[in-house]
Amino acid sequence: MTNTVTGIGYDSHKFKEGRKLILGGAQIPCDMGLDGHSDADALCHAIIDGILGAAGKPDIGSMFPDTDPKWKNANSIDLLKQVIELIKTDGAKVLYIDSVIITERPKILPHIAEITKNLSLATGLKKERINIKAKTNEKMGFSGRGEGLVAMACVSMERDFND
């Protein structure tokens, strides 16, 4: 029986000098990037966790552990493509992605079209099935102080269950 399921994903990274800021595969102009083992693309990481959650799989850290040198500086769009292929082998299909990036800086809105295009190419979804919102945290908390950013995603997916 095919069912529609929902998964949620969350990721956060602190800013670090000397790194590029990558979100949804797009390089965003900024004086700092995100600190992480891979390219630290928090948006892709949140989407991956949402997909893995809806598929009933372990999280991104289990699949691409930061203790494995293989994933050092990995391109998160490529990781997303691998997860899409994984769920296809299980007969699952992503239907819709709704996401939010929370940061005081830089402004994300001017880059949403490019991010959406990148995610569309990586997932095979039409752009109309990908929603990205940009928010601030009204100067509260670590993202509000400009120490890092947060990305969250909600993923709807068709999945077969054997019950």
Q: Mean of the pLDDT values across residues 27-43? A: 96
pLDDT digits 0-9 by tens, 40-71: 999 999 999 999 999 999 999 999 999 999 99
Quote the mean pLDDT of the chain: 96
- Look up the pTM and report it: 0.96
pLDDT digits 0-9 by tens, 81-107: 999 999 999 999 999 999 999 999 999
User: In this predicted structure, what is the pLDDT of residue 160?
Assistant: 86
Domain boundaries, the chain: 2-160
User: In this predicted structure, what is the pLDDT of residue 162?
Assistant: 72
> Whole-angstrom distance between the N-terminal and C-terminal Cα of the chain?
8
Class of domain 2-160: alpha beta
Cβ-contact 112, 23 below 8 angstroms: no
Checking if the pLDDT of 128 tops 70, the result is: yes
Ramachandran angles phi, psi of 37, nearest 5°: -70, -45
User: In this predicted structure, what is the pLDDT of residue 163?
Assistant: 61
Q: Mean of the pLDDT values across residues 25-52? A: 97
User: In this predicted structure, what is the pLDDT of residue 118?
Assistant: 98
In percent, the amount of the chain with pLDDT more than 70 equals 99
User: In this predicted structure, what is the pLDDT of residue 2?
Assistant: 77
User: In this predicted structure, what is the pLDDT of residue 114?
Assistant: 98
